[in-house]
Structure 1
Amino acid sequence: MTTLRLAHLYPDHMNVYGDRGNVIALRQRCLRRGIELEIIPVNPGDMIDWGSVDLAFFGGGQDSGQALITTDLIERQGPGLRAAIENDLVMLAICGGYQLLGHYFLTHTGERLPGLGVLDVHTIAGKQRMIGNIVIEVDVGQGPWRLVGFENHSGRTFHGAGVKPLGKVLAGYGDNGQDGWGGAIYRNTFGCYLHGALLPKNPQLTDHLIGLALRRRYGANAELAPLPAERELAAQRVMVQRLIGRV
Protein backbone atom coordinates (compact mmCIF):
# COMPACT_ATOMS: atom_id res chain seq x y z
CA MET A 1 0.00 0.00 0.00
CA THR A 2 1.17 3.53 -0.78
CA THR A 3 1.95 5.36 2.45
CA LEU A 4 2.40 9.02 3.35
CA ARG A 5 3.31 10.51 6.74
CA LEU A 6 1.72 13.70 8.10
CA ALA A 7 3.05 15.68 11.05
CA HIS A 8 0.30 17.53 12.94
CA LEU A 9 1.98 20.36 14.82
CA TYR A 10 0.73 21.07 18.35
CA PRO A 11 -2.80 19.67 17.93
CA ASP A 12 -3.79 20.44 21.53
CA HIS A 13 -2.62 24.06 21.43
CA MET A 14 -3.36 25.07 17.83
CA ASN A 15 -6.84 23.87 16.90
CA VAL A 16 -9.55 26.53 16.61
CA TYR A 17 -12.60 26.84 14.33
CA GLY A 18 -12.46 23.24 13.19
CA ASP A 19 -8.86 23.28 11.95
CA ARG A 20 -8.42 19.60 12.88
CA GLY A 21 -10.88 18.90 10.07
CA ASN A 22 -8.08 19.60 7.59
CA VAL A 23 -6.21 16.53 8.81
CA ILE A 24 -9.40 14.47 8.63
CA ALA A 25 -10.02 15.60 5.03
CA LEU A 26 -6.49 14.67 3.99
CA ARG A 27 -6.79 11.26 5.64
CA GLN A 28 -10.18 10.49 4.11
CA ARG A 29 -9.28 11.51 0.55
CA CYS A 30 -6.09 9.46 0.87
CA LEU A 31 -7.94 6.46 2.29
CA ARG A 32 -10.53 6.46 -0.50
CA ARG A 33 -7.65 6.11 -2.95
CA GLY A 34 -5.94 3.29 -1.07
CA ILE A 35 -3.25 5.59 0.35
CA GLU A 36 -2.42 5.10 4.02
CA LEU A 37 -1.84 8.42 5.78
CA GLU A 38 0.09 7.99 9.00
CA ILE A 39 -0.59 10.92 11.33
CA ILE A 40 2.14 11.94 13.78
CA PRO A 41 1.10 14.42 16.49
CA VAL A 42 3.94 16.79 17.36
CA ASN A 43 3.62 18.10 20.92
CA PRO A 44 6.02 20.23 22.97
CA GLY A 45 9.07 18.17 23.84
CA ASP A 46 8.62 15.61 21.05
CA MET A 47 11.42 14.67 18.72
CA ILE A 48 10.63 13.97 15.06
CA ASP A 49 12.62 12.97 12.00
CA TRP A 50 11.43 15.65 9.58
CA GLY A 51 13.18 13.89 6.73
CA SER A 52 10.64 11.06 6.99
CA VAL A 53 7.60 13.37 6.81
CA ASP A 54 5.66 14.04 3.60
CA LEU A 55 2.97 16.47 4.79
CA ALA A 56 2.64 18.83 7.73
CA PHE A 57 -0.31 20.72 9.17
CA PHE A 58 -0.13 23.67 11.58
CA GLY A 59 -3.49 25.02 12.76
CA GLY A 60 -4.62 28.24 14.35
CA GLY A 61 -4.67 29.17 18.02
CA GLN A 62 -5.19 32.03 20.41
CA ASP A 63 -2.27 34.30 21.30
CA SER A 64 -1.88 32.42 24.59
CA GLY A 65 -1.60 29.10 22.76
CA GLN A 66 0.95 30.51 20.36
CA ALA A 67 3.07 31.82 23.24
CA LEU A 68 3.14 28.36 24.85
CA ILE A 69 4.58 26.59 21.83
CA THR A 70 6.78 29.27 20.23
CA THR A 71 9.99 28.30 22.05
CA ASP A 72 9.54 24.61 21.26
CA LEU A 73 8.77 25.39 17.61
CA ILE A 74 11.86 27.50 17.11
CA GLU A 75 14.40 25.70 19.27
CA ARG A 76 13.38 22.04 19.07
CA GLN A 77 11.56 21.70 15.74
CA GLY A 78 13.03 24.69 13.95
CA PRO A 79 16.23 23.30 12.38
CA GLY A 80 14.63 20.12 11.05
CA LEU A 81 11.40 21.78 9.94
CA ARG A 82 13.23 24.60 8.15
CA ALA A 83 15.38 22.08 6.30
CA ALA A 84 12.32 20.02 5.35
CA ILE A 85 10.47 23.06 4.01
CA GLU A 86 13.51 24.00 1.92
CA ASN A 87 13.44 20.40 0.66
CA ASP A 88 9.82 20.89 -0.50
CA LEU A 89 7.92 19.39 2.42
CA VAL A 90 4.21 19.89 1.68
CA MET A 91 2.78 22.05 4.45
CA LEU A 92 -0.49 23.84 5.20
CA ALA A 93 -0.56 26.46 7.95
CA ILE A 94 -3.70 28.28 9.07
CA CYS A 95 -3.99 31.57 10.98
CA GLY A 96 -1.74 31.31 14.06
CA GLY A 97 0.33 28.57 12.44
CA TYR A 98 0.72 30.78 9.37
CA GLN A 99 1.83 33.70 11.53
CA LEU A 100 4.42 31.60 13.36
CA LEU A 101 6.06 30.50 10.11
CA GLY A 102 6.81 34.17 9.43
CA HIS A 103 9.44 36.43 10.94
CA TYR A 104 7.44 37.64 13.96
CA PHE A 105 4.01 38.43 15.40
CA LEU A 106 3.63 41.71 17.28
CA THR A 107 0.74 41.19 19.73
CA HIS A 108 -1.79 43.68 21.14
CA THR A 109 0.32 44.01 24.29
CA GLY A 110 3.45 44.86 22.32
CA GLU A 111 5.02 41.44 22.86
CA ARG A 112 7.07 40.37 19.86
CA LEU A 113 6.68 36.63 19.33
CA PRO A 114 9.48 35.36 17.10
CA GLY A 115 8.50 33.11 14.21
CA LEU A 116 10.32 30.37 12.39
CA GLY A 117 11.28 32.78 9.60
CA VAL A 118 10.68 30.37 6.71
CA LEU A 119 7.95 32.57 5.23
CA ASP A 120 8.85 36.12 4.30
CA VAL A 121 5.87 37.61 6.15
CA HIS A 122 5.32 39.42 9.42
CA THR A 123 2.18 40.03 11.45
CA ILE A 124 1.03 43.00 13.52
CA ALA A 125 -2.04 42.88 15.74
CA GLY A 126 -4.63 45.44 14.65
CA LYS A 127 -7.51 47.12 16.45
CA GLN A 128 -10.14 45.79 14.05
CA ARG A 129 -11.09 42.14 14.17
CA MET A 130 -11.59 40.75 10.67
CA ILE A 131 -14.43 38.23 10.86
CA GLY A 132 -16.61 36.57 8.25
CA ASN A 133 -16.75 34.29 5.25
CA ILE A 134 -14.04 34.72 2.64
CA VAL A 135 -13.50 33.75 -0.99
CA ILE A 136 -10.08 33.86 -2.64
CA GLU A 137 -9.21 33.08 -6.25
CA VAL A 138 -6.20 30.80 -6.51
CA ASP A 139 -4.16 29.61 -9.48
CA VAL A 140 -1.47 27.02 -8.76
CA GLY A 141 -1.08 25.99 -12.36
CA GLN A 142 -4.29 24.01 -12.77
CA GLY A 143 -6.63 26.82 -13.72
CA PRO A 144 -8.27 29.25 -11.29
CA TRP A 145 -10.06 27.89 -8.21
CA ARG A 146 -12.27 29.80 -5.84
CA LEU A 147 -11.58 28.68 -2.31
CA VAL A 148 -14.02 29.41 0.51
CA GLY A 149 -13.44 29.65 4.23
CA PHE A 150 -14.09 31.58 7.42
CA GLU A 151 -11.66 34.14 8.83
CA ASN A 152 -11.47 35.51 12.37
CA HIS A 153 -8.26 37.36 13.10
CA SER A 154 -6.98 40.71 14.30
CA GLY A 155 -3.45 40.03 13.12
CA ARG A 156 -2.55 41.77 9.87
CA THR A 157 -0.01 39.81 7.87
CA PHE A 158 2.19 41.59 5.34
CA HIS A 159 4.19 39.89 2.57
CA GLY A 160 7.82 40.35 1.66
CA ALA A 161 9.42 39.60 -1.68
CA GLY A 162 10.24 36.01 -0.69
CA VAL A 163 6.67 34.72 -0.95
CA LYS A 164 3.96 34.92 -3.56
CA PRO A 165 0.27 35.40 -2.72
CA LEU A 166 -1.87 32.31 -2.46
CA GLY A 167 -4.84 34.11 -3.94
CA LYS A 168 -6.77 37.30 -4.64
CA VAL A 169 -9.54 38.19 -2.20
CA LEU A 170 -12.96 38.27 -3.88
CA ALA A 171 -14.95 38.57 -0.63
CA GLY A 172 -13.73 39.17 2.90
CA TYR A 173 -10.59 40.78 4.31
CA GLY A 174 -7.65 38.49 3.56
CA ASP A 175 -4.24 38.82 5.13
CA ASN A 176 -4.44 42.45 6.19
CA GLY A 177 -7.63 44.01 4.76
CA GLN A 178 -5.58 46.38 2.62
CA ASP A 179 -3.68 44.83 -0.28
CA GLY A 180 -6.29 42.34 -1.51
CA TRP A 181 -4.19 39.23 -0.98
CA GLY A 182 -5.20 36.11 0.91
CA GLY A 183 -2.47 33.73 2.02
CA ALA A 184 1.07 33.09 0.84
CA ILE A 185 3.04 30.33 -0.90
CA TYR A 186 6.72 29.44 -0.53
CA ARG A 187 7.94 26.30 -2.28
CA ASN A 188 5.38 23.65 -1.16
CA THR A 189 4.27 25.58 1.94
CA PHE A 190 0.84 27.23 1.91
CA GLY A 191 -0.33 29.63 4.60
CA CYS A 192 -3.61 31.52 4.97
CA TYR A 193 -6.38 32.64 7.34
CA LEU A 194 -9.12 30.34 5.99
CA HIS A 195 -10.67 28.32 8.81
CA GLY A 196 -13.85 26.38 8.48
CA ALA A 197 -12.12 23.88 8.05
CA LEU A 198 -10.48 24.83 4.78
CA LEU A 199 -9.84 21.45 3.14
CA PRO A 200 -13.26 19.76 3.57
CA LYS A 201 -14.77 22.79 1.81
CA ASN A 202 -12.15 22.84 -0.93
CA PRO A 203 -11.30 19.35 -2.26
CA GLN A 204 -9.28 20.86 -5.12
CA LEU A 205 -6.69 22.12 -2.64
CA THR A 206 -6.82 18.90 -0.62
CA ASP A 207 -5.98 16.86 -3.70
CA HIS A 208 -3.31 19.32 -4.79
CA LEU A 209 -1.49 18.88 -1.47
CA ILE A 210 -1.76 15.09 -1.62
CA GLY A 211 -0.51 15.07 -5.21
CA LEU A 212 2.50 17.21 -4.31
CA ALA A 213 3.35 14.88 -1.43
CA LEU A 214 3.03 11.77 -3.61
CA ARG A 215 5.35 13.16 -6.27
CA ARG A 216 7.87 14.28 -3.67
CA ARG A 217 7.93 10.83 -2.03
CA TYR A 218 7.51 8.52 -5.03
CA GLY A 219 8.80 10.53 -7.97
CA ALA A 220 7.53 12.91 -10.62
CA ASN A 221 5.49 10.20 -12.37
CA ALA A 222 3.39 9.36 -9.31
CA GLU A 223 -0.21 10.11 -10.21
CA LEU A 224 -3.14 10.88 -7.94
CA ALA A 225 -6.19 8.86 -8.98
CA PRO A 226 -9.31 10.97 -9.70
CA LEU A 227 -11.86 11.02 -6.89
CA PRO A 228 -15.37 12.50 -7.04
CA ALA A 229 -16.27 15.44 -4.80
CA GLU A 230 -19.66 16.50 -6.14
CA ARG A 231 -21.24 17.37 -2.80
CA GLU A 232 -18.26 19.36 -1.56
CA LEU A 233 -18.01 21.28 -4.83
CA ALA A 234 -21.77 21.94 -4.91
CA ALA A 235 -21.62 23.41 -1.40
CA GLN A 236 -18.60 25.45 -2.42
CA ARG A 237 -20.44 26.88 -5.43
CA VAL A 238 -23.40 27.88 -3.27
CA MET A 239 -21.12 29.78 -0.90
CA VAL A 240 -19.25 31.49 -3.73
CA GLN A 241 -22.49 32.58 -5.37
CA ARG A 242 -23.85 33.82 -2.05
CA LEU A 243 -20.77 35.92 -1.36
CA ILE A 244 -19.82 37.30 -4.76
CA GLY A 245 -22.95 36.70 -6.85
CA ARG A 246 -21.34 34.47 -9.45
CA VAL A 247 -19.58 31.13 -9.74
Structure 2
Amino acid sequence: MTRELKICHLYPDVLNLYGDRGNTIALQKRCEWRGIQASVTGVGVGDHADLAEFDLFFVGGGQDFDQGTLLDDLWTGGADSKARQLTRLIEGDAPVLAICGGYQLLGEYYLTHTGEECRFIGAIPFHTKGAQQRMIGNLLFTASALPGSPQVVGFENHSGKTFLDAALTPLGRVDRGFGNNGEDGTEGLRYRNVVATYSHGPLLPKNPAVADELLRLALQRKGGAPVDLVPIDDALEARAHDAMAARLS
Protein backbone atom coordinates (compact mmCIF):
# COMPACT_ATOMS: atom_id res chain seq x y z
CA MET A 1 0.00 0.00 0.00
CA THR A 2 1.25 3.48 -0.84
CA ARG A 3 2.33 5.44 2.22
CA GLU A 4 1.70 8.97 0.98
CA LEU A 5 -1.40 10.99 0.15
CA LYS A 6 -1.64 14.48 -1.30
CA ILE A 7 -4.77 16.32 -0.18
CA CYS A 8 -6.02 19.44 -1.96
CA HIS A 9 -8.04 22.00 0.01
CA LEU A 10 -9.75 23.98 -2.73
CA TYR A 11 -10.40 27.67 -1.93
CA PRO A 12 -9.45 27.57 1.76
CA ASP A 13 -9.27 31.37 1.74
CA VAL A 14 -12.95 31.72 0.84
CA LEU A 15 -14.79 28.46 1.55
CA ASN A 16 -14.08 27.84 5.23
CA LEU A 17 -17.20 28.46 7.29
CA TYR A 18 -17.93 26.70 10.60
CA GLY A 19 -14.43 25.32 11.03
CA ASP A 20 -14.47 23.31 7.82
CA ARG A 21 -10.66 23.29 7.89
CA GLY A 22 -11.03 20.73 10.64
CA ASN A 23 -11.87 18.19 7.96
CA THR A 24 -8.42 18.36 6.38
CA ILE A 25 -6.83 18.26 9.83
CA ALA A 26 -8.80 15.09 10.61
CA LEU A 27 -7.77 13.45 7.34
CA GLN A 28 -4.12 14.29 7.91
CA LYS A 29 -4.11 13.09 11.53
CA ARG A 30 -5.86 9.81 10.70
CA CYS A 31 -3.17 9.18 8.10
CA GLU A 32 -0.40 10.10 10.56
CA TRP A 33 -1.75 7.72 13.21
CA ARG A 34 -1.46 4.91 10.66
CA GLY A 35 2.05 5.80 9.55
CA ILE A 36 0.85 7.23 6.25
CA GLN A 37 2.42 10.50 5.13
CA ALA A 38 -0.20 13.09 4.16
CA SER A 39 0.21 16.67 2.97
CA VAL A 40 -2.50 19.32 2.64
CA THR A 41 -2.10 22.01 -0.02
CA GLY A 42 -4.43 24.97 -0.36
CA VAL A 43 -5.35 26.02 -3.90
CA GLY A 44 -7.00 29.43 -3.82
CA VAL A 45 -8.25 32.18 -6.09
CA GLY A 46 -5.61 33.01 -8.69
CA ASP A 47 -3.56 29.88 -8.03
CA HIS A 48 -2.66 27.78 -11.04
CA ALA A 49 -2.31 24.11 -10.20
CA ASP A 50 -2.28 20.72 -11.87
CA LEU A 51 -5.06 19.16 -9.81
CA ALA A 52 -4.22 15.71 -11.15
CA GLU A 53 -1.22 15.72 -8.80
CA PHE A 54 -3.57 15.33 -5.83
CA ASP A 55 -5.18 12.18 -4.45
CA LEU A 56 -8.07 13.59 -2.41
CA PHE A 57 -10.01 16.86 -2.61
CA PHE A 58 -11.91 18.95 -0.07
CA VAL A 59 -14.19 21.89 -0.89
CA GLY A 60 -15.80 23.62 2.08
CA GLY A 61 -18.71 25.97 2.62
CA GLY A 62 -19.02 29.70 2.06
CA GLN A 63 -21.60 32.44 1.88
CA ASP A 64 -23.69 32.79 -1.27
CA PHE A 65 -21.79 35.86 -2.48
CA ASP A 66 -18.51 34.02 -1.93
CA GLN A 67 -19.59 31.38 -4.40
CA GLY A 68 -20.27 34.07 -6.99
CA THR A 69 -16.79 35.54 -6.65
CA LEU A 70 -15.28 32.14 -7.42
CA LEU A 71 -16.98 31.62 -10.78
CA ASP A 72 -14.49 33.61 -12.86
CA ASP A 73 -11.58 31.85 -11.20
CA LEU A 74 -13.14 28.41 -11.67
CA TRP A 75 -13.45 28.91 -15.42
CA THR A 76 -10.16 30.72 -16.07
CA GLY A 77 -7.83 28.64 -18.23
CA GLY A 78 -10.17 26.94 -20.67
CA ALA A 79 -9.52 23.19 -20.78
CA ASP A 80 -7.08 23.58 -17.88
CA SER A 81 -9.46 25.60 -15.70
CA LYS A 82 -10.16 24.35 -12.20
CA ALA A 83 -13.75 23.57 -13.26
CA ARG A 84 -12.67 21.39 -16.19
CA GLN A 85 -9.89 19.70 -14.24
CA LEU A 86 -12.17 18.90 -11.32
CA THR A 87 -14.86 17.52 -13.62
CA ARG A 88 -12.36 15.20 -15.30
CA LEU A 89 -11.02 14.06 -11.95
CA ILE A 90 -14.51 13.32 -10.65
CA GLU A 91 -15.21 11.19 -13.71
CA GLY A 92 -11.87 9.49 -13.05
CA ASP A 93 -13.06 8.49 -9.56
CA ALA A 94 -10.96 10.95 -7.56
CA PRO A 95 -12.38 11.14 -4.02
CA VAL A 96 -13.95 14.52 -3.23
CA LEU A 97 -15.55 15.75 -0.01
CA ALA A 98 -17.77 18.76 -0.74
CA ILE A 99 -19.71 20.58 1.96
CA CYS A 100 -22.53 23.13 1.66
CA GLY A 101 -21.33 25.82 -0.79
CA GLY A 102 -18.66 23.47 -2.11
CA TYR A 103 -21.39 20.89 -2.69
CA GLN A 104 -23.52 23.40 -4.60
CA LEU A 105 -20.58 24.43 -6.82
CA LEU A 106 -20.36 20.90 -8.25
CA GLY A 107 -23.89 21.18 -9.64
CA GLU A 108 -25.32 22.85 -12.71
CA TYR A 109 -26.67 26.12 -11.33
CA TYR A 110 -27.90 28.08 -8.32
CA LEU A 111 -31.13 30.04 -8.75
CA THR A 112 -31.37 32.81 -6.17
CA HIS A 113 -34.69 33.62 -4.52
CA THR A 114 -34.73 36.84 -6.60
CA GLY A 115 -34.49 34.87 -9.85
CA GLU A 116 -30.80 35.36 -10.69
CA GLU A 117 -29.14 32.24 -12.09
CA CYS A 118 -25.50 31.44 -11.31
CA ARG A 119 -24.04 28.73 -13.54
CA PHE A 120 -21.76 26.38 -11.63
CA ILE A 121 -19.34 23.77 -12.95
CA GLY A 122 -21.93 21.14 -13.90
CA ALA A 123 -19.80 18.17 -12.91
CA ILE A 124 -22.87 16.41 -11.46
CA PRO A 125 -26.51 16.78 -12.63
CA PHE A 126 -28.26 18.61 -9.81
CA HIS A 127 -29.28 22.20 -9.08
CA THR A 128 -29.95 24.45 -6.11
CA LYS A 129 -32.70 27.03 -5.57
CA GLY A 130 -32.36 29.81 -3.03
CA ALA A 131 -35.08 30.26 -0.42
CA GLN A 132 -35.82 33.21 1.82
CA GLN A 133 -35.92 31.06 4.95
CA ARG A 134 -32.64 29.53 6.11
CA MET A 135 -32.41 25.90 7.16
CA ILE A 136 -30.40 26.00 10.37
CA GLY A 137 -29.75 23.51 13.13
CA ASN A 138 -28.25 20.20 14.12
CA LEU A 139 -28.39 17.53 11.44
CA LEU A 140 -28.65 13.77 11.85
CA PHE A 141 -28.85 11.43 8.88
CA THR A 142 -28.21 7.83 7.93
CA ALA A 143 -25.58 7.68 5.19
CA SER A 144 -26.92 4.63 3.35
CA ALA A 145 -24.62 5.33 0.37
CA LEU A 146 -21.53 4.63 2.51
CA PRO A 147 -20.32 1.21 3.70
CA GLY A 148 -22.06 0.22 6.91
CA SER A 149 -24.67 3.00 6.56
CA PRO A 150 -23.23 5.09 9.41
CA GLN A 151 -25.41 7.60 11.21
CA VAL A 152 -23.83 11.02 10.66
CA VAL A 153 -24.07 14.01 13.00
CA GLY A 154 -23.39 17.60 12.01
CA PHE A 155 -24.74 21.12 11.74
CA GLU A 156 -26.44 22.74 8.75
CA ASN A 157 -26.96 26.39 7.84
CA HIS A 158 -28.08 27.04 4.27
CA SER A 159 -30.78 28.85 2.34
CA GLY A 160 -30.24 26.87 -0.85
CA LYS A 161 -32.49 23.91 -1.57
CA THR A 162 -30.68 21.26 -3.57
CA PHE A 163 -32.57 18.91 -5.88
CA LEU A 164 -30.89 15.84 -7.36
CA ASP A 165 -31.63 14.44 -10.80
CA ALA A 166 -33.56 11.18 -10.58
CA ALA A 167 -30.55 9.05 -11.53
CA LEU A 168 -28.42 10.33 -8.63
CA THR A 169 -28.01 8.61 -5.28
CA PRO A 170 -28.50 10.68 -2.11
CA LEU A 171 -25.81 10.25 0.52
CA GLY A 172 -28.57 9.32 2.93
CA ARG A 173 -31.92 10.03 4.54
CA VAL A 174 -32.58 12.71 7.14
CA ASP A 175 -33.33 11.55 10.68
CA ARG A 176 -33.34 15.07 12.16
CA GLY A 177 -33.01 18.38 10.33
CA PHE A 178 -33.60 19.59 6.79
CA GLY A 179 -31.00 17.98 4.53
CA ASN A 180 -30.89 18.79 0.84
CA ASN A 181 -34.09 20.79 0.68
CA GLY A 182 -36.35 20.12 3.67
CA GLU A 183 -38.91 18.53 1.37
CA ASP A 184 -37.95 15.07 0.12
CA GLY A 185 -36.02 13.70 3.10
CA THR A 186 -32.73 13.34 1.25
CA GLU A 187 -29.35 14.57 2.42
CA GLY A 188 -26.25 15.04 0.30
CA LEU A 189 -25.22 12.86 -2.61
CA ARG A 190 -22.85 10.06 -3.49
CA TYR A 191 -21.62 10.19 -7.09
CA ARG A 192 -18.72 7.93 -8.03
CA ASN A 193 -16.22 8.83 -5.27
CA VAL A 194 -17.78 12.20 -4.46
CA VAL A 195 -19.27 12.56 -0.99
CA ALA A 196 -21.30 15.78 -0.75
CA THR A 197 -23.29 17.00 2.24
CA TYR A 198 -24.70 20.02 4.04
CA SER A 199 -23.15 18.80 7.30
CA HIS A 200 -20.72 21.31 8.82
CA GLY A 201 -19.30 20.91 12.26
CA PRO A 202 -16.65 20.10 11.03
CA LEU A 203 -17.93 16.81 9.67
CA LEU A 204 -15.02 14.38 9.85
CA PRO A 205 -13.81 14.70 13.48
CA LYS A 206 -17.36 13.86 14.60
CA ASN A 207 -17.74 11.07 12.04
CA PRO A 208 -14.46 9.17 11.69
CA ALA A 209 -16.09 6.42 9.62
CA VAL A 210 -16.68 8.96 6.85
CA ALA A 211 -13.07 10.15 7.05
CA ASP A 212 -11.76 6.60 6.80
CA GLU A 213 -13.92 5.81 3.78
CA LEU A 214 -12.50 8.83 1.95
CA LEU A 215 -8.96 7.78 2.86
CA ARG A 216 -9.62 4.21 1.77
CA LEU A 217 -10.94 5.39 -1.59
CA ALA A 218 -7.95 7.67 -2.11
CA LEU A 219 -5.40 4.99 -1.23
CA GLN A 220 -7.18 2.42 -3.35
CA ARG A 221 -7.28 4.70 -6.40
CA LYS A 222 -3.64 5.69 -5.95
CA GLY A 223 -2.38 2.15 -5.41
CA GLY A 224 -4.68 0.37 -7.83
CA ALA A 225 -5.62 -2.35 -5.35
CA PRO A 226 -8.16 -2.85 -2.54
CA VAL A 227 -7.15 -1.33 0.79
CA ASP A 228 -7.96 -2.26 4.38
CA LEU A 229 -7.06 0.52 6.80
CA VAL A 230 -5.34 -0.30 10.07
CA PRO A 231 -7.97 0.18 12.82
CA ILE A 232 -7.65 3.19 15.14
CA ASP A 233 -8.94 3.45 18.71
CA ASP A 234 -11.93 5.75 18.17
CA ALA A 235 -13.47 5.26 21.61
CA LEU A 236 -13.54 8.98 22.46
CA GLU A 237 -14.82 9.94 19.01
CA ALA A 238 -17.52 7.28 19.28
CA ARG A 239 -18.65 8.56 22.68
CA ALA A 240 -18.93 12.13 21.38
CA HIS A 241 -20.73 10.99 18.24
CA ASP A 242 -23.14 8.72 20.09
CA ALA A 243 -23.96 11.37 22.70
CA MET A 244 -24.96 13.86 20.00
CA ALA A 245 -26.85 11.24 18.01
CA ALA A 246 -28.80 10.29 21.13
CA ARG A 247 -29.71 13.94 21.75
CA LEU A 248 -31.03 14.28 18.22
CA SER A 249 -32.85 10.95 17.96
Q: What TM-score comes out, normalization by structure 1 length?
A: 0.95
Amino acid at match of 2:48: M
In 2, are the aligned partners of 1:74 and 1:115 still within 8 Å (CA)?
no
Q: Show CA shifts across 1:71-129 (max 9, x none).
A: 21234201111111100010000000000100011123432111111122100111211
In 2, are the aligned partners of 1:124 and 1:156 still within 8 Å (CA)?
yes
CA distance in 1, matches of 2:145, 2:113: 34
Q: 1:68 matched to which residue of 2?
A: 69
In 2, are the aligned partners of 1:185 and 1:191 still within 8 Å (CA)?
yes
What secondary structure, in the 3-state scheme, does the structure 1 residue paired with 2:151 have? strand
Matches within 5 A, 1:166-181: 166-181=171-186
1:123 aligns with 2:124: no
Amino acid at match of 1:173: F
What secondary structure, in the 3-state scheme, does the structure 2 residue paired with 1:164 have? coil
Q: Show CA shifts across 1:20-79 (max 9, x none).
A: 111111011011111111112111122222222110000000012111112212342011
Q: 1:14 matched to which residue of 2?
A: 15
Distance 1:150 1:141, change over 3 A: closer
1:183 aligns with 2:188: yes
Deviation at 1:134, TM superposition (A): 0.7
Q: 1:153 matched to which residue of 2?
A: 158
- More off after superposition, 7-16 vs 71-80: 71-80
In 1, are the aligned partners of 2:180 and 2:198 still within 8 Å (CA)?
yes
- Of residues 206, 223, 227 in structure 2, which corresponds to 1:218? 223
Distance 1:62 1:141, change over 3 A: closer
CA distance in 1, matches of 2:158, 2:188: 13
Unaligned ranges ≥5, structure 1 = none
CA distance in 1, matches of 2:55, 2:200: 22
CA distance in 2, matches of 1:180, 1:134: 12
| CA RMSD between the two structures | 1.3
Size of the alignment, in residue pairs? 244
Q: 1:59 matched to which residue of 2?
A: 60
Q: What TM-score comes out, normalization by structure 2 length?
A: 0.94
- More off after superposition, 68-77 vs 21-30: 68-77
1:133 aligns with 2:134: no
Deviation at 1:151, TM superposition (A): 0.3
Amino acid at match of 1:203: P
